[in-house]
Amino acid sequence: MPEGHTLHRLAGALDHAFAGTTPTVTSPQGRFADGAALLTGRPLESAEAYGKHLFVRFAGDAVLNVHLGLIGSFDVLPYADPAGPPAPVGAVRVRLVNDSAYADLRGATTVQLVTPAEMAATIARLGPDPLRAGTAGNEPERSLARLARTTRPVAECLMDQTIIAGVGNLYRCEVLFRHRVDPFVPGAKVKKRTWLTIWDDLIELMRLGVAFGQILTLQDQVIEAKTILGERDPTAYDPGWAGLMPGERGDFVRGRTGGHFPRDFAVYQRDGLPCLVCGSRIRTRVLAGRNLFWCGRCQRRH
Ligand SMILES: [Zn+2]
């Protein structure tokens, strides 16, 4: 399932390709024909992400709200053929086309037109988003308050979008391991300092995820990624195009997995293999509907 960094990267790509233009909006597959008819011919103002939600604002207070769900994808691509972009392949629910780019949305669970007020209401139901840290409503204290009211395990709370927005299974497994946190400690028993450490780390990890289009959690990859980004000031991060790798600035990206680094993790899908730190076997079990992976020996912190 796409995690928050994918949505923020996608928002940046859509914003870069379409903001300030008036794309033609269609529904080649037909299931969004009415919405497309309403949006086509309107200037596209901006695209932004909050957690796993994407919001594309059009003139006249129309907002396209997308949630990719488990298998959705939204590909943003350039084209140069004066005859137009290539014909849609597969079940394209929504297609945006301007004179230099096209974007195809497939397989999303939510595709709807909302008003700015409805968009604000959706955001208000979500917990703070680490990729929006530093903006109003995205203080970690807000998630701490919700955490303090639950006895559910912290690994489940990290997947609860009303507690913290944008974190998916991979980030939850890896960030808990990085800080040696017991995944089963009840939310209310998580120390404030532990949660703030997790929050701060997620800000950094997810920003790298946006920049590289892939989840990086192994410390040597994290260090290399930060070096590549030139030690840029993380507080200067703009959740749009400015967060991308320097080489990609001005290019189009697919909003999908990048390939700069090998896809390696410390615990995710490493069940049965030795822990990279202590050598004991990585364990797995379903929690919050997804497979949790952890090291029972290393992860004891509350
Ligand atoms: Zn271990």
Rounded (10°) angle between helices 219-228 and 192-212? 60
Task: Report whether CATH 3.20.190.10 matches the domain 4-125.
Answer: yes
Sequence length of the chain is: 302
User: What digits encode the pLDDT tens for the residues 31-50?
Assistant: 999 999 999 999 999 999 99
276 CA distance to ligand 1 middle (Å): 7
CATH topology of domain 130-295: Helicase, Ruva Protein; domain 3 (1.10.8)
Residues belonging to the active site: 2-3, 52, 290
Between the CA of 293 and the centroid of ligand 1 the distance, in Å, is: 11
Residue ranges, comma separated, of all CATH 1.10.8.50 domains in the chain are: 130-295
CA 279, 190, 52, 100 dihedral sign is negative
Q: Which residues have their alpha-adjacent CB atom under 5 A from ion ligand 1?
A: 275, 277-278, 295, 297-298
Integer distance in angstroms from the first to the last C-alpha of the chain?
28
CA-to-CA distance for 155 and 195, rounded, in angstroms?
12
Boundaries of CATH 3.20.190.10 in the chain?
4-125
pTM, two decimals, is: 0.91
Q: Are 131 and 282 in contact (CB under 8 A)?
A: no
| Chain segment 145-198, per-residue pLDDT in tens | 999 999 999 999 999 999 999 999 999 999 999 999 999 999 999 999 999 999
Instruction: Report the C-alpha dihedral over residues 245, 246, 247, 251, rounded to 10 degrees.
Output: 80
Alpha-carbon gap, residue 288 to 84, rounded angstroms: 44
